[in-house]
A and B are shown apart, each in its own frame.
Chain A
Amino acid sequence: MINGAPLLEVRNLCKRFPTRQGRAPSPWIIRDLTFSVADREFLTIVGPSGAGKSTLLNMIAQVDVASAGEILFQGDKIGTADPKAMRPGLDRRVGYVTQDDNLLPWRTAIDNVLFPLEVQGRLDDKARAHAQVLIDAVGLTGFERYYPHELSGGMRKRAALIRTLVYDPPVILMDEPFGAVDAQTRAQLQEDLLRLWNLGRKTIIFVTHDIAEAILLGDRALVLTRQPARIAAEHMIPIPRPRSVKSFLTLPGFAELYERIRAEVQ
Chain B
Amino acid sequence: MTTIDPTADLAAPAPLISRKQIIILGRLGLALLLLWGWQEGAETFGSVFFAYPMDVVRRLIEIAGNGQLVTDLLATLRVSGIGFVLGCVGGVLLPFLLRRSKRWTDAIEPYVLMSQGIPKYALAPWLILWFGIGDLPKLVIVTTVVFYIPFFNVFAGIRGVDQRLVRMARIIGASETKISREVIWNSLLPFFFTSLKVALPRAVGACIVGEFLVSTEGVGHYIEHARELSDTVGVFAGIVVATALVLLVNALVEYLERRALAWRPVDRDMAL
- With an 8 A cutoff between CB atoms, is A94 at the interface? yes
Inter-subunit contact B164/A106 (CB<8 Å) = no
* A-contacting 9-mer, from B60-68, B143-151, B165-173: B165-173
Q: Which of A102, A105, A149 contacts B168 (CB 8 A)?
A: A102
The answer to whether B165 touches A104 (Cβ under 8 A) is yes
- Could you tell me if A119 and B186 are in contact, using CB atoms closer than 8 angstroms? no
Candidates A63, A104, A105, A149; contact of B171 at CB < 8 Å: A63
Name the distance in Å between A61's Cβ and chain B's nearest Cβ.
6
Are A116 and B165 closer than 8 Å at their CB atoms? Answer: no
Interface size bracket, B side: 20 to 34
B206 at interface, CB cutoff 8 A: no
Q: Is the CB of A149 within 8 A of B265?
A: yes
Neighbouring A residues of B162 by C-beta, 8 Å: 102
Q: Is B178 at the interface (CB under 8 A from chain A)?
A: yes
Given known pairs A98-B164, A98-B168, A149-B265, the reply for A104 and B182 (CB within 8 Å) is: yes
Of A94, A95, A105, A119, which is within 8 A of B169 by CB? A119
Kindly identify, within residues 79 to 108 of chain A, every residue whose CB is under 8 Å from any CB belonging to chain B: 88-89, 91-92, 94-96, 98, 100, 102, 104-107
Measured between beta carbons, the chain A residues less than 8 angstroms from B173 are 89, 91-92, 116, 119-120
Q: Is the CB of B164 within 8 A of A102?
A: yes
Q: Is B263 an interface residue (CB 8 A)?
A: yes
Contacts of B178 in A (CB 8 A): 119
* CB–CB B170/A88 < 8 A: yes
Residues of chain A within 8 A (CB-CB) of B171 are 61, 63, 88-89, 94-96
Instruction: Give Cα A119–Cα B182 distance, bound, in whole angstroms.
Output: 10
In the complex the two chains form, is A89's CB within 8 Å of B172's CB? yes
Q: Is the interface of B mostly helix, strand, loop or mixed?
A: helix
CB-based nearest B residue for A119: B174
Contacts of A149 in B (CB 8 A): 265
Q: How far is the CB of A95 from chain B (nearest CB, A)?
A: 7
Instruction: Look across to chain A and name the residue whose beta carbon is closest to the beta carbon of B266.
Output: A149
Asked if A105 meets B170 with Cβ closer than 8 Å, knowing A98-B164, A100-B164, A119-B175, the reply is no
Contact B164 A104 (CB under 8 A): no
Contact across chains for A105 and B172 when beta carbons are under 8 A apart: no
Give the residues in chain A near B175, CB-CB below 8 Å.
119
Interface residue? A167 (CB, 8 A): yes
Cα separation A107 to B263 with both chains bound (whole Å):
8
Mark interface residues in A129-153 (1 if CB within 8 Å of B CB, else 0): 0000000000000000001010000
B266: shortest Cβ distance to chain A, in Å? 9
Would you list which residues of chain B between 32 and 62 have a CB under 8 Å from chain A? none
Return 12 A-B CB contacts under 8 Å, by A number.
Answer: A63-B170, A92-B172, A94-B171, A95-B171, A100-B164, A102-B167, A106-B186, A115-B172, A119-B173, A119-B178, A120-B172, A149-B265
Chain A interfacial positions (CB closer than 8 Å to B): 61, 63, 88-89, 91-92, 94-96, 98, 100, 102, 104-107, 115-116, 119-120, 147, 149, 163-164, 167
Please name 19 further chain A to chain B contacts, defined as beta carbons within 8 Å, in addition to the given A89-B170, A96-B171, sorted by A numbering. A63-B171, A89-B172, A89-B173, A92-B172, A92-B173, A98-B168, A102-B164, A102-B168, A104-B186, A105-B264, A106-B189, A107-B263, A119-B173, A119-B174, A119-B175, A119-B182, A147-B265, A163-B172, A164-B172
